[in-house]
Structure 1
């Protein structure tokens, strides 16, 4: 998804560059037009002066009688020239020396402005006009070297472009600071969303711009409703499981009573159904016991969550003297919900406690994928029976208490996170359970099938 800051910054950059270049071109064009119009007005004065200075003798030959010295009398190639055609007669300024202007004669009433290359590669601005005086057609062209003027215009454009560039940088810096200050609340909301995903907070701060404040408030409202419903559902499930446990125990006692000795089929049916109901109740009670009073969405933190869990299981199996050794080597927190990880590890360690003689080793690592291993010093499991360990309701040894649900629950959670669950023989002699969860895997990637 595109960044709002980058999108606004890029749009602003392109807009400012376009505006600066456009105003640079407009100012340069206007400055050039003003200067050229000034030169043209001066050339127009020269044309009028030359027209008034033209006279004709008795033979009809044209003469130019200037009343005062002008720049047309300067040294050769001074940059000011004229070229007059009257019939077959051509009059040129002395400044042209032995050169000529390559201009075409025009008729009366015509006017033409053009640029030509003059002597010494001068850039000339030429103004030509056609007249009729004393029944003689006259074409007058005057020219001025604008090379120096063009150089000054180019220098002005360069300096103005540098100034525009500096102004552009200042505007961008000001706009960056303004955008940073304006979008600061959004960074705070983004930080809160990350903390919310880790379960560190339960609501997003509402110090947001008015445009997105309704969205933030709606998110907080939905989070509150979600947490309330999850807590309510959890309490209801726990209460229901506890409420059904007593009548279910009565039904099991009835199934084992002597009154059904003459009805073995009925006894079998009652015991099968009560066992199935008991397994489901035990599973839900186990989930509630391991999850505790934690809010939905809280992230799993091995530092604070594992020691109480192992201590509780050691206390449960204190009569057998089982010791749980915890090894941890990881950086940061796991991208998984606390409730799921407690249920996963709790079931694996609880299963190990049922079989272990005296020692269980739990290892937690994250390098980079999340790894969990549980090893015990119990009798272990034959290789040909390990494939059935995580099947729901499957028990390899009927002499041990349980309903065959613990490893099945672990399998459900591992599959939920697109991970892997494997069984092998541990160095302690018992069962070795290995769990691998992908980096940044979350339960939101899948839909639970509970």
Structure 2
């Protein structure tokens, strides 16, 4: 028979539930035996006390009946089958002389209480009561055998133990059924994960308990993220294939031809090669987007400071005015390279277009809010809506290929963020980036 796997959740639950039920049953059974004996002892003690009161009342009504009272043939002794010892004025009478030696110490005692007397292989429960009769002090002992009661209680106690054992077995069976039913969603989850691995399904679809709902949601989000990355890679390869096929063919044709390459043709070939390089760079940047559920964090204050130092060296004639920055210890749930790409695109554009000054404001009150404003010529209002379109350039006279803002929008799409462009006439361009907290529902949107 194979040994149970102690790492198994089912085995652990059964051990803990079965062990807990066993402990509860055992403690309950032990307490039952103790309380049952105490209850029986208290019940018999109350009966002996009432009988003692009754006997003393009979003595007060008929003092001359004292000798018959102490006899085993008396009416009281025959009715109740009890033992009596009466001491009055030093005279002792008893219904059972054989017990007198064992009961003599109780006659000298001053306690009115219930006593256990064990002698001659028997267990006797004796109630002692002192009294006064016609000015004379006396003591009355009323006893009853407790052995038979204890024997009956013991049999009852063991029967209760047997019933408790059967109930324990029933509880173990019910626990087994409950554990199997409770773990069924995990078995279904394992089966669906196998189906995912075999390509027979694309998502997990389970009606699971609330404890597993978050896990299934996280797994689905992780698979969606992985599928998104795969799709991006495939699209990047397709885009590259489409975008590079024509210029590469033209360059190869020019290089293979016998026609001499003059300055004009060389410039055209160089332009095509620069376009190819730009396409490669853009697609590589897109392929590096990690997106949500990457499990990565960044510190915006640290990374923005590093970017600003770099752009100050690239644009030494421009002043980068940092007006607000997040706290240095605050983290943002975003992959560091994605954040650097996002902020770097806007800072680079601002550095290219600004006349003298670029203002930078950022905070993390409710997600990321980043605003970068330059004092350049701005963008005509009728062209603001076209910013971010692939290949759209603000000015053909400036370096670039018009891919940066399209990458920015694609990057924000993965984080459910948005970008706003605002350009008052003659006052430059203000770019505002907003990214919601990553535990909030993602609702992409741009303007």
What is the TM-score when the length of structure 1 is the normalising length? Answer: 0.46
What is the TM-score when the length of structure 2 is the normalising length? Answer: 0.46
